[in-house]
Structure formats: C-alpha cells, structure tokens
Amino acid sequence: MELSYTPDQLAFRQQVREFIQEALPTALRDKVLTRCRLGKEDIASWQKILHARGWGAPSWPREFGGTGWTAIEQTIFEEACAELGAPRQLDFGLRMVAPVIMAFGSPEQQQRFLPRILSGEDWWCQGYSEPGSGSDLASVRMRAVRDGDDYIVNGQKTWTTLGQHADWIFCLVRTNSEGRQQQGISFLLIDMKTPGVAVRPIIMLDGEHEINDVYFDDVRVPAANLIGEENRGWTYAKFLLGHERTGIALVGVWKRFLTHLKEVARAQQEGGVSLMQNVRFRDRIAQVEVELMALEITMLRVLSAEGKKAPGPEASMLKVKGSEIGQTLTELAMQACGSDAVAFIPDALEPGYSGPRVGTAHAASAAGDYFNFRKLTIFGGSNEIQRNIIAQMILGL
C-alpha cells in the first residue's frame, strides 16, 4: 500500500488547509483548541461555512450535494479540520441517517431531508437505545401502530446525545411482535416538535447535559416518514451502524488530542523536570502514537475498499481500536495533570474564564474528558459485541 500522498493529494491538502485557516473564525478555533465548551451555534455555524464553500458533506456523492471526494481526500480534510481547530461536523445527520436516506429512502424523502441536513438547518439525533435495549438492540419495545396515514408511537429512548437541540430523531420502532425480534422493527423519522414528544436531561459525571431520555406519548407520525419497507428496519439499522462505527475511529480527533497530551506532559513538572522526560510516561505516549498510526492506515484500507458499499464488519475493528485509543489518551492526560485534575471546575470550560484555577490550564478539561470518554467502548455497539462480529464475520470462528 502506498503510504505517501501523491502530488495531487498534497495540492488538495494545501487547498483545504488554506481554506480552513481563512474561513474558520478565530474565536471558534480558540474554543476548540483550548478544549472549551462548544454550543449548538458553534457547530452549526461551521457547517454553514462549509456548506457555502460546497464542502458541507465530505462523504456524500455529488448527486446528493456532496463533494464526491475519495476516502483519501475525506481523510485529508478531516485531519486538517482537527489539526487546525475546527469543530467536528455533527455525525447524526451527515454520517448516519443521511446514508440511510440515500440508500433506502424514497425520492421525496431524499429531496425533503437531505438538503436541510447539508445546510445545517435540521439537527438530528439518534433513537436506538431504550431502557433494557442497548447492546441487544433487536429487543427494542417502542411501539408504532398504523392508524390510517399515520403511525401512533409510544415508548422511550435513552442516552439520546444532544437530543435537547434536535429538530428530528430517527428511531427504531416495533411494528410487529411476531416471529424473530429483528423481523418486526421499522425505521421511522420523527419531528421532535410533534405533540407528545418530551425530552428530559441526563446529567453526566462531568456535570454536562449531553444526553437525554426522550419519551413518546401517542405521538402521531406520518407514514410518509417510514424509511423503506415496514418491518425491514433491522437491515437499515445495521447499514447505519457500519457508518457510525467507522466514524468512531476519530483518527483526526485523536491526533489532535495526542498533540494536546504532549503539551500537558511538557507543562507538568516533577521535581522541576518536565513529565515528558519521564521515560515510562514517554514510552506510554509512544505506544499509543504507534497504535494511532496503525489505526489510521487500517481506516484508509477499509474506506478505500468500501467503494459505494456500506462499511462491512471491518468497521468493528475501527470502532474497537478507535475507542480504546481515545480512552488511553484521556487517561494519560488525567494522569499527567495528577491531583490538579481532581479539582474539576466546570466554569473553567467557558471562554474567557478568569476565576480560580488549580494547576495549569490543561487541567480544566482533564477530568471531564476522562469521564466522558468512558462511554466510547459502549456506544455504537459495545466492544464486546464488536469482537463477536469480528470473530464470526471476519475470522469465521
């Protein structure tokens, strides 16, 4: 496999970097690079800037308004965005539900939903997990009963990331209780403003409101919002999860965090000596850096072989290793800050904070990052489930 960029790819990389450096607002860049708290407007504003440039959907084909970029070009773009301090684009619309709509949605659904995802007008969230239905996703119980031209939906979704901001939610719902569990699931798009939808916050260990419970009480959803065929939702869900698991690799994000970790280690002092001079700690950084390089090459191989097909079981490898690398990086950053990280001050994540601070500025986000990224090995299908997929579908065990 050729590991160096071609002259055309290097020229493309330079074009991308020049655009980001010119178009990315300084205040937004500084918030990202200093690990401050990002709001909905921060992410939405960057999406609008990219859309105006014609780069709003790096992974979409041109016929749907995307860039039509190759896997290498997408990787170059995402790595440049991460390195230069751009917010990550919202996955739920662009990388998760949009590919499902493209592959299985009707022309009317494609015309209705895709342009608003591309422009950033509609913010999407995911309605998969339920109380008691997480890794065992086929056991979802939220009901959708056909009533004329509508479905009447009742039930609950949980761990709904950024649902408090969402305009729409894509849901797995049960439309048939007979036969195998997988055969009675449908894929439904629901307007979050519909009467009967209620969002209640779940406050995480780091004090942030990132996830939610979402309740549905006799919510009337037009049957026109059904993706594909009734009771075929399991097929569409697996297609979507392949895209989600590929996205969890987050190579560009982890490369930026690795740079951050090295800065933390250089800033911390042990007996007047930089922690980066500690051989054992430096060896751990070197080990995770090598693993990240291997993950990047593996991701490029998977994406390059993908073509127009959905990501296959190989996406599970990316999910497992990407999530483990992310947890290792945040754990090392926490260890590098030592006791300074224990005194977590949520207000210090706001730009311009000038209040009390313990240790270096790097310590402000260390504990929050550590606790938040414990979830990586669970969402998108737990790593235990991913190893079963790898064993069965790749190794043939």
Rounded (10°) CA dihedral 52, 53, 54, 55: -110
d(CA 55, CA 296): 22
Spatial CA neighbour of 172 closest among 117, 231, 90, 108: 231
Burial of 333 (0-12, 13-18, 19+ CB in 10 A): buried
Q: Terminal CA-to-CA distance of the chain, rounded, Å?
A: 28
DSSP alpha helix (H) spans, the chain: 7-23, 26-33, 40-53, 71-84, 91, 98-104, 107-119, 233-247, 251-267, 279-306, 314-337, 363-372, 383-389
Q: In this structure, what DSSP letter does residue 133 have?
A: B
Helix/strand/coil for 234: helix
H/E stretch holding 199 reads: strand 197-203
CB 94 within 8 A of CB 117: yes
Q: Which of 78, 79, 244, 314 is catalytic?
A: 244
List of residues 6+ apart from 76 with CB closer than 8 A: 5, 9, 12, 13, 16
Spatial CA neighbour of 13 closest among 86, 78, 85: 78
CA 36 to chain centre: 18
| Tokens 């090598």 found at | 290
CA 282 to chain centre: 29
244 catalytic, yes or no?
yes
Which amino acids are annotated catalytic?
244
